[in-house]
Amino acid sequence: MRRILQKLRVTLEMIKWEHSIFALPFALTGAVLAANGWPRPRVLLLVVICMVAARSAAMAFNRLADAELDATNPRTKMRALPSGLLEKAFVAGFIVVAATVFIVCAGMLNRLCLWLSLPALVVLLGYSYAKRVTRWPHLVLGLSLGMAPSAAWIAVRGSLDPRILVLTLAVLLWVTGFDLLYSCQDVEHDRAEGLRSVPAAFGINAAFWGARALHVLMLAALASVQHLFGLGPVAATGIAVAALLLAYEHSIVSPRDLRRMDAAFFTMNGIVSVLYFGFVATDILLRR
């Protein structure tokens, strides 16, 4: 039992489960918009469990699929699988358990969530192979996280409203943009291994300009969400804060200096999602 718990701890460290914070606040934003306030506690709990379980399955699958590639990359060769801290069989078992938890909890929400759980897993797990077949794997990752607000809406309402798809678009643009930046760290490795990405195909400068453009479009999409849902000045302040944080994110990295990429990728984007959710939730609750 001690060995199993130790391997579980290493697995959670490997998949950085705490980074569920990226998409979870946007899922909660979708849930709050759907309920026009706080959803029922049971629904809220199931949404959180589904988000964490689905992301955990996807991240573990990504580490499993990329184990050999990670072993050849100086930045990733010390990850748990290539360094021998974990066995593939254990990680595979973890994926099965996490995916099962996701499907079961989705079924506990409503029938539509259950029907859509398997297609959602296909997208989430399929991302791991996107860079082998397309130079646009960043869009697949964007879709993987972008599904969160729409999925949460369905969890609350049992149906889909086209308006929430605009928030899905905003998250897709946001994630695609910051993944363009993050993948700049692996340009030489990707080219050597025949992997496809925008930086590998078009260069780091192009990736930075693409990320800037996508984040401007993301803010425009958030402004559309503001209009479509009739949100007030508190939520609008959230968009302004997100814009400032994204501007700061782009100011601390450049095509010639990627040393602060972890701060830009993990810290700033986590803050963006949490604060935007906080402003939107506050706006809705104050107007009730």
pLDDT in tens, the chain (288 residues): 777 788 888 877 777 766 667 789 999 999 999 999 999 999 999 999 999 999 999 999 999 998 888 888 888 888 888 888 889 999 999 999 999 999 999 999 999 999 999 999 999 999 999 988 888 999 999 999 999 999 999 999 999 999 999 999 999 999 999 999 989 988 888 888 888 899 999 999 999 999 999 999 999 999 999 999 999 999 999 999 999 999 998 998 888 888 887 766 677 888 899 999 999 999 999 987
197, 183 Cβ separation under 8 angstroms? yes
Q: Which amino acid is at 149?
A: P
H helix intervals, the chain: 2-14, 24-35, 41-65, 67-71, 88-109, 111-133, 137-157, 164-182, 187-193, 198-202, 204-228, 233-251, 261-262, 269-286
Cβ neighbours of residue 200 closer than 8 Å, sequence gap 6 or more: 135, 183, 187, 190, 191
Beta partners for residue 254, in sequence order: 257
What pTM does this model have? 0.92
- The CB density around residue 245, as the number of other CB atoms within 10 Å, is 18
- The CB density around residue 227, as the number of other CB atoms within 10 Å, is 10
> Where are the domains positioned within the chain?
2-286
- The CB density around residue 122, as the number of other CB atoms within 10 Å, is 10
Task: Of 72, 284, 283, give the one whose Cα is nearest residue 192.
Answer: 72
199, 190 Cβ separation under 8 angstroms? yes
Task: Of 208, 63, 4, give the one whose Cα is nearest residue 199.
Answer: 208
Q: Per CATH, is 2-286 categorized as 1.10.357.140? A: yes
